[in-house]
């Protein structure tokens, strides 16, 4: 029995897996096209696989995950793969998986381990929260995690995961506020730096000639529109809404 088709893939490659009727290998790949438009045919099962580099293979993940789908009698799943480090924010395969979930018709997302999915605990909680909101189960085959409503243990696992993620967010917020307080005590100015007084004078002078038109004034003195708006808001608060 042959394994998953071994072919180099780039980040975001979508592999559809429609094996022939007489094939016993659910992982036989029909075709591999990079960044093509997503299949409009609804597939209730999405398999998401990720490795850290393009040189690595997903065979070990794929065989276990696809066997899991096969044993349960599910139709051949849509397979999405990424080759990206865990902390990478650029994961086309993950983005397309979420887009497919949002389009509807997906019942379960199957992956090898939780760390294949999220960049961090907080990011993972966001993904799981969206799946839960759309009644899509998350299944991690190597960890026994199944968040479907028919699985009370999975619901408990989900609750624990969300609670830990909320705790992590609270800790991050607390650390950020503490660092800001230390910075204030050291006399550091927080927020945007003040505008140079010469820039302010140029903006106000241009306003007298061009009127209260943000883009015209910005072009005239080669400043950003946001800087012009800040000056108008501070020095001309009662002059009405600025125009474009």
Report the catalytic residues: 52
H or E segment to which residue 173 belongs = helix 152-185
* Gap between the Cα atoms of 56 and 205, Å rounded: 61
* Gap between the Cα atoms of 121 and 137, Å rounded: 18
Strands 45-51 and 108-111, by their bridges, are parallel
Contact of 228 with 201, CB cutoff 8 Å: no
* Gap between the Cα atoms of 64 and 144, Å rounded: 12
* Gap between the Cα atoms of 227 and 199, Å rounded: 9
* Gap between the Cα atoms of 136 and 102, Å rounded: 10
Quote the DSSP letter at residue 51: E
H or E segment to which residue 49 belongs = strand 45-51
Neighbours of 64 (CB within 10 A): 13
Neighbours of 118 (CB within 10 A): 17
């Amino acid at each position: 029995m042959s394994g998953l088709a071994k072919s180099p893939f780039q980040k975001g490659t979508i592999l559809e897996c429609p094996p022939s009727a007489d094939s016993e290998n659910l992982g036989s790949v029909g075709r591999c096209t990079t960044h093509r438009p997503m299949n409009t045919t609804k597939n209730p099962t999405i398999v998401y696989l990720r490795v850290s580099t393009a040189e690595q293979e997903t065979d070990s993940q794929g065989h276990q995950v696809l066997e899991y789908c096969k044993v349960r009698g599910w139709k051949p799943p849509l397979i999405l793969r990424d080759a990206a480090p865990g902390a990478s924010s650029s994961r086309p395969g993950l983005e397309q998986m979420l887009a497919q979930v949002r389009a509807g018709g997906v019942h379960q997302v199957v992956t090898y381990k939780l760390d294949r999915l999220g960049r961090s605990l907080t990011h993972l909680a966001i993904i799981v929260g969206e799946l839960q909101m759309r009644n899509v189960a998350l299944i991690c085959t190597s960890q026994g995690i199944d968040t479907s409503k028919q699985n009370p243990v999975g619901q408990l696992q989900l609750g624990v995961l969300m609670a830990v993620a909320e705790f992590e967010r609270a800790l991050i917020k607390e650390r950020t506020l503490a660092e800001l307080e230390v910075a204030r005590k050291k006399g550091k100015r927080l927020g945007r730096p003040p505008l140079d007084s010469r820039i302010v004078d140029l903006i106000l002078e241009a306003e007298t000639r061009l009127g209260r038109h943000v883009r015209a004034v910005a072009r005239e003195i080669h400043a950003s529109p946001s800087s012009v708006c800040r000056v108008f808001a501070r020095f001309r608060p009662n002059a009405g809404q600025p125009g474009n």
